[in-house]
Structures are given as C-alpha cells and as structure tokens.
C-alpha cells in the first residue's frame, strides 16, 4: 500500500511507471530498510531533503543485491511522478550534483527523446566528480559528464534497463532542433515536443 503509484500518475510507455524497474529489483527495494524508513510518505518537496543527502550513486551491491539509496529515490520518483518542471529543477540545480544526476536518471527513464537530449546534453559540461558504488560494494570514481554519456549512449545503468531512445542525430534531424538541443541550455523554449510522458 505504501508502495502504490500515485493515482494521478500517468502511465509511461503504456505501463505503471514503477514497472520500469524490473520486478526482482522492485521487490528488493520494497523490502529495503532505507526505503521503508526514509522514503515513506515522501512528496517531491520532501524528497529534495533525501536527494541532497545522497553521497554516491549506484544500483545494487553485495551478494543479496542491496539497493542503493540512489535507486530507492529513483523508485520513489516513479511512484509520485513529480511534474516535469520539478524534474528539470533537479537537473538545473548547480549546487547538488547527486540531485542533478538523480533528476537526469529519472528523466532518462520517463522523458521523451527530445526532452532527454534537451536537458541532459548540457550536463556534458559538468566535470564534477561522483562516487559510484559498484556491484562488489567498492566505490569507484566517475564524473557527471561521464555518467550522462552513459545515460545517453547505453541502455542499462544502475541495474535498470533504460528505454530505447533514438540516436541524437536522428532526433535532431526529425525535429530539426539543431541548435536548440545544443549545449546552450538557457535558450530552451517549450515550443517543441510539449508532450512529456505517457499520453
């Protein structure tokens, strides 16, 4: 019950958003103590607190594949489905790199191809360091731009299968976004691809 998707949430790619996380990982998250203790009853507003406390990203680790707080918060966002402008706020914030990456990951999971390129590509300019917990429980060093590249060019990250997106060049060609998708984020307007998720 505490794990129900917000009744107002729109379905994403024809399914309950939470189903974007495959079933085994989902049940691992539901059983996780951090999930039960810290993620219970969060709204998009109070989730900010938890996101700011993040100090590493990662999927699962250890023999019993314990989910990381990062992935728990991704799950929580799928559950409460914050508005798009809130997700963009996460991504655009300059002070908390893990909040930024969390927003980026969520948008990669739920956004349209156009939005994904529009809001994630500017982050190629962010070279800050990130700590990443790998499956063996060890921390590895990565960087924001490096991780964004992983999100944009691969289809699997942090033990979650990412939906297929078109290659950037195709997206650009189709929508003739050209410069708009480019690195200058400030010029972005909402004229293209108004639809966000589902619908």
Partner 1 sequence: MDQSSNHVVGVDNTSRKKFDREEILQRARERDEEEADGRKSKSKGPPVQRKPLKPRDYQVDLESRLGKTQVVTPIAPLSQQAGYYCPVCECVVKDSANYLDHINGKKHQRALGMSMRVERSSLEQVQQRFESLKKRKDPGSFTVQDFDERMLKQQQEEEERKRLRREKKKEKKKEKVSEEEPEIDPDVAAMMGFGGFKTSKK
- Nearest to partner 1 of 50, 108 (CB atom): 50
Determine how β-strand 129-133 pairs with β-strand 57-58: parallel
Work out whether 83 is an interface residue with partner 1 (CB under 8 A). Answer: yes
E strands along the chain, which residues? 57-58, 60-61, 66-67, 129-133, 139-143, 156-157, 160-161
DSSP conformational letter for 176: T
Residues 6+ apart with CB under 8 A from 93: 99, 100
Q: Are 106 and 74 in contact (CB under 8 A)?
A: yes
Residues in the chain: 199
Work out whether 175 is an interface residue with partner 1 (CB under 8 A). Answer: no
Cβ of residue 132: shortest distance to partner 1, in angstroms? 23
Q: Which of residues 39-58 bind partner 1 (CB under 8 A)?
A: 40-46, 48-49, 52
Q: Judged by CB under 8 A, which stretch of 2-10, 60-68, 113-121, 176-184 contacts partner 1?
A: 2-10
- Nearest to partner 1 of 113, 126 (CB atom): 126
Cβ of residue 1: shortest distance to partner 1, in angstroms? 5
Binding site for partner 1 (CB under 8 A): 1-2, 4, 6-8, 31, 33, 36-37, 40-46, 48-49, 52, 80, 82-83, 85-86, 89, 93, 95
């Amino acid at each position: 019950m505490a794990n129900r998707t917000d009744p107002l949430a729109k379905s994403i790619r024809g399914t309950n958003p939470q189903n974007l996380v495959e079933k085994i990982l989902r049940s691992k998250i539901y059983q996780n103590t951090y999930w039960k203790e810290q993620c219970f009853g969060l709204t998009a507003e109070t989730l900010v607190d938890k996101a700011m406390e993040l100090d590493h990203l990662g999927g699962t680790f250890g023999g019993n594949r314990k989910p990381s707080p990062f992935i728990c918060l991704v799950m929580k966002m799928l559950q409460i489905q914050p508005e798009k402008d809130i997700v963009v706020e996460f991504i655009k914030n300059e002070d908390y790199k893990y909040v930024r990456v969390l927003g980026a990951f969520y948008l990669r999971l739920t956004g349209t191809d156009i939005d994904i390129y529009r809001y994630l590509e500017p982050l190629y300019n962010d070279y800050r360091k990130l700590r990443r917990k790998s499956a063996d429980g060890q921390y590895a060093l990565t960087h924001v731009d490096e991780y964004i590249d992983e999100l944009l060019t691969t289809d699997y990250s942090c033990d979650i299968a990412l939906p297929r997106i078109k290659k950037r060049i195709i997206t650009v060609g189709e929508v003739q976004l050209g410069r708009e998708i480019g690195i200058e984020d400030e010029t972005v307007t909402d004229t293209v691809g108004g639809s966000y998720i589902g619908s």
